[in-house]
């Protein structure tokens, strides 16, 4: 295995896909670049295993030099397959911007995927900020690799793990406070319009977009680093070992920060790749018994029962009224702050007192679904989403963003109401 350090990066620009080298409009400039390509001048590692020679080309995700190096490497004609640090979802987002407009937002809400959708949106917003600041789309070299491989008829292998799986596994490994900090960081990333700091950009040149997105916590949280970086090294190594049948020379385009770990796992891992990959895709299923809801529900209902039994109808009814008003009003207030429709606000008021008693009646989901149905987001809303979330006004103007605000602020209001109402019940009973 050989590795060489990266050279200085040139000014970044966006890349255009190469034309088909076998056709009448052969890309002469690409062929010339391929002939002049010097692998030794690029950060790389070479691993030979099971009759396949893997050339791992390390890139910086915000660099013109990396785009040029990737295109030149493919133009050499030395490889019979290309692998890229992408999953299907990220590749589709890069190559099919209209895919977002075909999303069924109500389905996302009903299936409980709102936090994941928000996380993907935060990542997209971060990438847009980088693109505006650096003049190059983050991951442009990966997009160029996919385009050039297709143009030259080379098999393309997507070796990265799905972003959703990585996010879920990362969040499951963190405690309650860790999840809260990461969620707050992602939310601030959505709302922020500040330029990306020089330190972050330098990290990005040596790492990848996911690592940089979680940079505030990855260094100080071993669990997060393990999931975001180390696990993906193992996962991508397993995917590479599942190279297309007949491929003997594989070019793998990955962030420079993955080179060392990926090369080690590709060389040393002995478990069957399918088995290893499956283990890294597993997500712990939530308990079928909603223990938290049962505990809260038992406390609330028990408090009502105790009030009726010890204080009679007047005390019991007063406790019930306090609970409904506190949780309902705060949940409805969150929905109102999000600019919810009057019927969305009403649904939040009705659902909030019931949320702790039944998970299917989560106030944030109920009010957001009602909002999405009454003020159905248009295709234009989805298309403008990534730009609109870069300004505070855009969050209330864009119907998709407003539905997300509805979900989070209603949920927050209800959560505050549950704790406030619960403490008032305990204070009345034991005061």
What mean pLDDT is predicted for residues 13-36? 43
Query: What pLDDT sits at residue 37?
Result: 80
pLDDT at 6 over 50: no
Query: How many Å apart are CA 15 and CA 17, to the nearest integer?
Result: 7
Q: Does residue 11 or residue 184 have the better pLDDT? A: 184
pLDDT at 248 over 70: yes
- Cα–Cα nearest to 257, from 334, 202, 189: 202
What mean pLDDT is predicted for residues 215-243? 76
CB-based contact 63:260 (threshold 8 Å) = no
pLDDT at 215 over 60: no
Residue 339 tokens read as 């600019």
What mean pLDDT is predicted for residues 117-144? 72
Cα dihedral across residues 416, 355, 170, 289: positive or negative: positive
Q: Which residue has the tokens 């088909």?
A: 20
CB-based contact 160:234 (threshold 8 Å) = no
Residues in the chain: 431
**Residue by residue, what is the 3-state secondary structure of the chain?**
CCCCCCCCCCCCCCCCCCCCCCCCCCCHHHHHHHHHCCHHHCCEEEEEECCEEEEEEEECCCCHHHHHHHHHHHHCCCCCEEEECCCHHHHHHHHCHHHHHHCCHHHHHHCCCHHHHHHHHHHHHHHHHHHHHHCCCCCHHHHHHHHHHHHCCCCEEECCCCHHHHHHHHHHHCCHHHHHHHHHHHHHHHHCCCCCCHHHHHHHHHCCHHHHHCHHHHCCCHHHHHHHHHHHHHHHHHHHCCCCCCCCEEEEEEEHHHHHHHHHHHHHCCCCHHHHHHHHHCCCCCCCCCHHHHHHHHHHHHHHHHHHHHHHHHHHHHHHHHHHHHHHHHHHHHHHHCCCCHHHHHHHHHHHHHHHHCHHHCHHHHHHHHHHHHCCCCHHHHHHHHHHCCCHHHHHHCHHHHHHHHHHHHHHHHHHHHHHHHHHHHHHHHC
187: left (phi over 0), alpha (psi -120 to 50) or beta: alpha
Least confident residue range of 114-123, 154-163, 229-238: 114-123
Q: What percent of the chain has pLDDT over 90?
A: 32
Query: What pLDDT sits at residue 155?
Result: 94
Query: What pLDDT sits at residue 174?
Result: 74
Q: What percent of the chain has pLDDT over 70?
A: 69
pLDDT at 121 over 80: no
With bands split at pLDDT 50, 70 and 90, how would you rate the model's confidence at 24? Answer: very low
With bands split at pLDDT 50, 70 and 90, how would you rate the model's confidence at 23? Answer: very low
Domain edges within the chain: 28-281, 291-430
pLDDT at 30 over 60: no
Query: How many Å apart are CA 236 and CA 50, to the nearest integer?
Result: 16
Q: Are strands 249-255 and 156-158 parallel, antiparallel or unpaired?
A: unpaired
Please, what is the average pLDDT of the chain?
77
With bands split at pLDDT 50, 70 and 90, how would you rate the model's confidence at 113? Answer: confident
What's the distance, CA 400 to chain centroid?
17
Q: Which range in 106-120, 206-220, 327-341 is most confidently predicted, on average pLDDT?
A: 327-341
pLDDT at 242 over 70: yes
pLDDT tens, position by position, 139-191: 788 999 999 999 999 999 999 998 888 878 877 777 666 666 666 666 665 55
Residue 219 tokens read as 């260094």
Least confident residue range of 229-243, 276-290, 338-352: 276-290
What mean pLDDT is predicted for residues 281-305? 70
pLDDT at 380 over 70: yes
What mean pLDDT is predicted for residues 308-320? 75
Query: How many Å apart are CA 260 and CA 234, to the nearest integer?
Result: 11
What mean pLDDT is predicted for residues 377-395? 79
Helix axes 28-36, 64-75, angle to 10 degrees: 90
- Cα–Cα nearest to 209, from 95, 87, 83, 62: 62
Q: Does residue 145 or residue 92 have the better pLDDT? A: 145
pLDDT at 56 over 90: yes
Query: How many Å apart are CA 343 and CA 230, to the nearest integer?
Result: 47
Provide the terminal-to-terminal Cα distance of the chain, rounded to the nearest Å.
72
CB atoms within 10 A of CB 116: 17
- Cα–Cα nearest to 242, from 45, 50, 47: 50
- Cα–Cα nearest to 95, from 189, 183, 158: 158
């Amino acid at each position: 295995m050989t590795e060489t350090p990266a050279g200085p990066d040139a000014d970044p620009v966006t890349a255009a896909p190469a034309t088909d080298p076998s056709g009448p409009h052969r890309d002469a400039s690409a062929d010339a670049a391929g002939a002049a390509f010097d692998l030794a001048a690029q950060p790389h590692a070479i691993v030979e295993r099971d009759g396949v020679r893997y050339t791992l080309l390390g890139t910086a995700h915000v660099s013109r030099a990396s785009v040029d190096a990737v295109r030149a490497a493919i133009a050499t004609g030395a490889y019979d397959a290309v692998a890229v640090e992408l999953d299907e979802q990220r590749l589709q987002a890069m190559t099919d911007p209209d895919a977002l407009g075909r999303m069924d937002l109500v389905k996302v809400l009903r299936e409980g995927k709102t936090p994941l959708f928000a996380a993907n949106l935060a990542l997209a917003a971060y990438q847009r900020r980088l693109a505006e600041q650096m003049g190059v789309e983050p991951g442009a070299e990966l997009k160029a690799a996919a385009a050039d491989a297709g143009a030259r008829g080379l098999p393309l292998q997507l070796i990265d793990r799905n972003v959703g799986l990585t996010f879920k596994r990362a969040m499951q490994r963190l405690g309650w406070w860790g999840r809260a900090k990461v969620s707050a960081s992602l939310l601030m990333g959505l709302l922020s319009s500040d330029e990306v700091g020089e330190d972050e950009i330098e990290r990005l040149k040596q790492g990848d977009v996911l690592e940089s997105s979680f940079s505030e916590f990855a260094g100080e949280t071993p669990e997060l680093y393990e999931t975001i970086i180390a696990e993906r090294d193992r996962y991508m190594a397993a995917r590479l070992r599942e190279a297309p049948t007949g491929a003997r020379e594989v070019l793998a385009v990955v962030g420079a920060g993955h080179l060392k770990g990926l090369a080690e796992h590709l060389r040393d891992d002995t478990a069957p790749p399918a088995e290893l990959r499956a283990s890294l895709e597993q997500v712990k299923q939530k308990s079928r018994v909603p223990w938290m809801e049962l505990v809260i529900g038992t406390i609330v209902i028990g408090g009502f029962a105790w009030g009726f039994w010890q204080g009679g109808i007047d005390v019991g009814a007063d406790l019930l009224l306090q609970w409904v008003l506190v949780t309902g009003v705060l949940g409805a207030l969150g929905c109102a702050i999000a600019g919810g429709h009057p019927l969305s606000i009403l649904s939040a008021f009705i659902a909030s007192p019931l949320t702790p008693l039944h998970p299917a009646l989560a106030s944030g989901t109920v009010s957001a679904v009602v909002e999405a149905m009454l003020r159905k987001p248009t295709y234009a809303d989805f298309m403008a989403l990534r730009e609109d979330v870069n300004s505070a006004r855009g969050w209330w103007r864009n119907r998709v963003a407003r539905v997300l605000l509805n979900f989070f602020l209603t949920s927050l209001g209800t959560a505050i109401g549950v704790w406030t109402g619960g403490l008032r019940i305990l204070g009345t009973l034991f005061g």
